[in-house]
């Protein structure tokens, strides 16, 4: 096949965020948009001639079209082999594992994670490096710089690859291997967890609901939960991936999984409920009469990880994103292991994992994972919970209550204000930053005295890199916190995320409603930042 060099002009909006480049489908459908961005990625890399590239996505609308484009560009640019999931499917954690397992050069993950899909929805492309994790900032910065000056891309005139047919094909001179998207990942999970114990849990009459949200984890959950682990048929709901996620919003939280939450809060509900998101890297955990916040889930999984075979010798350390509650910090202190606070974005955990400094990582945005891959992993978190339940033979509620009685409870919530005018949001954060030097030492009410106020800067202990302006933090002498940051996962306007946290000691009151417990901080945040007043919003878009 002849390599074609196609003239193009730059797009001004191809700056990748914390998880790649996410835009509306209509933006990606512009002529040359996909080609420009993928070529800019390849132009920013070195040494991939003849190497293997992994490609896969969450099955959302436009995945199939973009994958064919990416395969042609990979062939024209000199990759020796592409490994792609059957029908273009690969969950994000499965893609990370395939990259690592087959020692690929890197991979393209086509997803917009938990964002809606369909022709009017969102699309995204993210590049993962050879360790299986998201590209570090030095690469994403180089990619963005290249997108601003790109004037041509390389492709080939070749027919589409038959993505539905497992086996080897060719695209130009490049080998294309279509693989079973589930098999390698399922084998990895079986090596980590006590599958016989979990099978025994289900055999004992334990009941579970897993909502795949018509997203990527459906095939994985069917194969592992109902197949290998013997959960009854019907345990997995909405298990067929659809381009528009069944007209739903594949974000596993209490807004979009309300029906499951409501059922778990009744006597007739199952013992355990879980869900994952569009690309399979997030999780929701609910026990009968007990929702487990992602921050608490991270702490609980770390405290109980030794019950699973892969972690029976203990864990090296824990890492959490800065906005995530400090519940895991208390576990790390008791275990005598390292604890790291990083900016939001899984890429910041990669160096710590590679260096063996940490074993388990988590973010308050429902992402948890370990050193088995370099991405957060929704189904991994669900399986570790099942392993813990199988060994401890207690309910989720009982395990959570015991944990709080040992470590105390971090009351925690996140208020999201979505699609806010970007200029208003930016000015709001800038104005709050300007107040920071004057806040330490100030008292608000009887109990809230400011201990520190800063804009979080992260110094990577492995490579020495620095990441500044990662979120405004206002901490109080009693351990409470207010955090405000702009999210990089939206595609329209800006998303303001407000995080509120209050610690209650082990012998304190752990039974308060979360929003009631945090009411003083909620009111103070409005006084300091004026989100509602300045945005015109009467309430958050989502509360988690």
As a whole number of angstroms, the distance between CA 81 and CA 78 comes to 9
User: pLDDT value at position 489?
Assistant: 54
C-alpha–C-alpha distance, residues 305 and 362, integer Å: 14
* C-alpha closest to that of 281 among 220, 325, 331: 220
pLDDT value, residue 462: 93
* Torsion of the alpha carbons at 342, 97, 241 and 134, rounded to the nearest 10: 40
**Closest CA relative to residue 416, chosen from 199, 192, 249, 235:** 249
Task: Please give the Cα distance from 171 to 155 (Å, whole number).
Answer: 11
**Residues whose CB falls within 8 Å of the CB of residue 454, separated by 6 or more in sequence, listed in order:** 436, 472, 473
Of all residues in the chain, what percent are helix, strand and coil, respectively (each to 5)?
Answer: 35, 25, 40
Would residue 171 show up in a list of annotated catalytic residues for this protein? no
Distance CA 539, CA 101 (A): 46
DSSP state of 12: T
Provide the pLDDT for residue 68.
98
The alpha carbon dihedral of 243, 244, 245, 250 has a sign of positive
Q: Which of 48, 45, 69, 49 is nearest to 57 (CA)?
A: 69
* DSSP-H helix ranges across 272-377: 294-304, 327-335, 347-354
Residues 250 and 244: their CA atoms lie apart, in Å, by 9
Largest CA distance in the chain: 75
Question: Which whole-number Å values give the CA distances from 434 to 91, 480, 530, in the listed order?
Answer: 41, 21, 14
**φ, ψ of residue 254 in degrees (nearest 5):** -75, -5
- CA–CA distances in Å: residue 144 to residues 38, 55, 67, 136, 364: 11, 21, 21, 13, 28
Phi, psi of 346, rounded to the nearest 5 degrees: -60, -25
CA gap 434, 472 in Å, rounded: 10
Pairing of strands 236-237, 208-211: parallel
Q: Report how far residue 485's alpha carbon sits from residue 500's, in angstroms, rounded to the nearest whole number.
A: 12
DSSP state of 414: E
**How big is the CA angle at 319 (ends 138 and 339), to the nearest 5 degrees?**
120
Kind and range of the H or E run holding 361: strand 360-363
Which candidate in 111, 113, 297, 321 is catalytic?
Answer: 113
| Domains in the chain: ranges and CATH | 3-180 (3.40.120.10), 185-407 (3.40.120.10), 409-543 (3.30.310.50)
Phi, psi of 483 (to 5 degrees): -130, 140
Q: What order of strands is seen across the sheet that includes strand 448-455?
A: 443-444, 448-455, 472-476, 481-487, 494-504, 409-420, 542-543
Length of the chain: 544
Tokens of 89: 């499917």
Q: How many whole angstroms separate alpha carbon 419 and alpha carbon 1?
A: 45
Q: Which of 295, 346, 348 is nearest to 460 (CA)?
A: 348
Per-residue pLDDT reduced to its tens digit, 269-309: 999 999 999 999 999 999 999 999 999 999 999 999 999 99
Tokens linked to 278:
């569009």
Residues of the chain whose pLDDT is less than 50? Answer: none
pTM to 2 decimal places: 0.94
> Rounded to whole angstroms, how far apart are CA atoms 284 and 258?
11
pLDDT score at 447: 85
- In the three-class reduction of DSSP (H, G, I as helix; E, B as strand; rest coil), residue 282 is classed as coil
pLDDT tens per residue, range 179-217: 999 999 999 999 999 999 999 999 999 999 999 999 999
Token pair of 96 as six digits = 């990370």
Parallel/antiparallel/unpaired status of strands 106-110 and 208-211 = unpaired
CB 454 within 8 A of CB 432: no
- 515: helix, strand or coil: helix
* Phi, psi angles (nearest 5°) of residue 335: -80, -15
Residues β-bridged to residue 494:
420
Residue 512 CB contacts under 8 Å (≥ 6 apart), including other chains: 411, 504
260, 208, 212, 217: which is closest to 235 by C-alpha?
208
Angle at 543 between CA 397 and CA 513, to 5 degrees: 45
């Amino acid at each position: 096949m002849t390599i074609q060099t196609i003239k193009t002009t730059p797009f001004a909006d191809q700056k990748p965020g914390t998880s790649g480049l996410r835009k509306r489908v209509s933006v990606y459908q512009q002529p040359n948009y996909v080609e420009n961005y993928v070529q800019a990625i390849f132009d920013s890399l070195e040494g991939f001639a003849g190497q293997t590239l992994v490609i896969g996505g969450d099955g959302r609308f436009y995945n199939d079209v973009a994958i064919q484009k990416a395969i042609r560009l990979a062939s024209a640019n000199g990759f020796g082999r592409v490994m792609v999931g059957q029908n273009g499917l690969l969950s994000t954690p499965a893609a990370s594992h395939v990259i690592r397992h087959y020692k690929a050069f890197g991979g393209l993950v086509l997803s917009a994670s938990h964002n809606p899909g369909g022709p009017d929805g969102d699309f995204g492309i993210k590049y993962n490096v050879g360790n299986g994790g998201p590209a570090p900032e030095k690469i994403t910065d180089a990619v963005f710089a290249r997108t601003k000056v790109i004037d041509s891309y390389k492709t080939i005139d070749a027919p589409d690859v038959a993505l539905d047919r497992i086996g080897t094909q060719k695209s130009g001179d490049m080998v294309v291997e279509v693989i079973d998207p589930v098999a390698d990942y399922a084998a990895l999970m079986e090596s980590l967890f006590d599958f016989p114990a979990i099978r025994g849990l289900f055999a004992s009459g334990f009941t579970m609901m897993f909502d795949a949200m018509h997203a990527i984890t459906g095939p994985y959950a069917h194969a592992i939960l109902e197949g290998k682990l013997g959960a009854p048929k019907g345990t997995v709901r909405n298990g067929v991936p659809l381009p528009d996620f069944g007209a739903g919003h594949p974000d596993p939280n209490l807004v979009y999984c309300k029906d499951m939450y409501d059922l778990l809060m009744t006597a007739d509900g199952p013992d355990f409920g879980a869900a994952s998101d569009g690309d399979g890297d997030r999780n929701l955990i609910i026990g009968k009469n007990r929702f487990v916040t992602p921050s608490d889930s991270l702490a609980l999984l770390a405290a109980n990880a030794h019950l699973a075979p892969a972690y029976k010798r203990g864990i090296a350390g824990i890492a959490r994103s800065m906005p995530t509650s400090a519940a895991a910090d208390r576990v790390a202190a008791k275990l005598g292991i390292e604890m790291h606070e990083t900016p939001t974005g899984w890429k910041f955990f990669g160096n710590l994992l590679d260096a063996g400094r940490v074993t388990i990582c988590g973010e308050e945005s429902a992402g948890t994972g370990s050193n088995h891959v370099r991405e957060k992993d929704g189904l991994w978190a669900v399986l570790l919970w099942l392993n813990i339940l199988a060994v401890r033979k207690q309910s989720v509620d009982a395990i959570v209550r015991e944990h709080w009685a040992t470590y105390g409870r971090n009351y925690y919530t996140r208020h999201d204000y979505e699609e806010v005018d970007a200029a208003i949001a930016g000015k709001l954060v800038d104005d709050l930053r300007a107040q920071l030097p004057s806040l330490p030492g100030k008292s608000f009410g009887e109990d809230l005295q400011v201990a520190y106020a800063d804009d979080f800067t992260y110094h990577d202990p492995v490579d020495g890199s620095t990441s500044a302006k990662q979120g405004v933090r206002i901490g109080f002498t009693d351990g409470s916190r207010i955090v405000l940051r702009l999210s990089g996962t939206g595609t329209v306007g800006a998303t303001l995320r407000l995080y509120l946290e209050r610690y209650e000691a082990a012998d304190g009151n752990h039974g308060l409603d979360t929003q009631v417990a945090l009411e003083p901080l909620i009111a103070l945040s409005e006084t300091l930042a004026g989100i509602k007043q300045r945005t015109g919003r009467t309430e958050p878009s989502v509360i988690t």
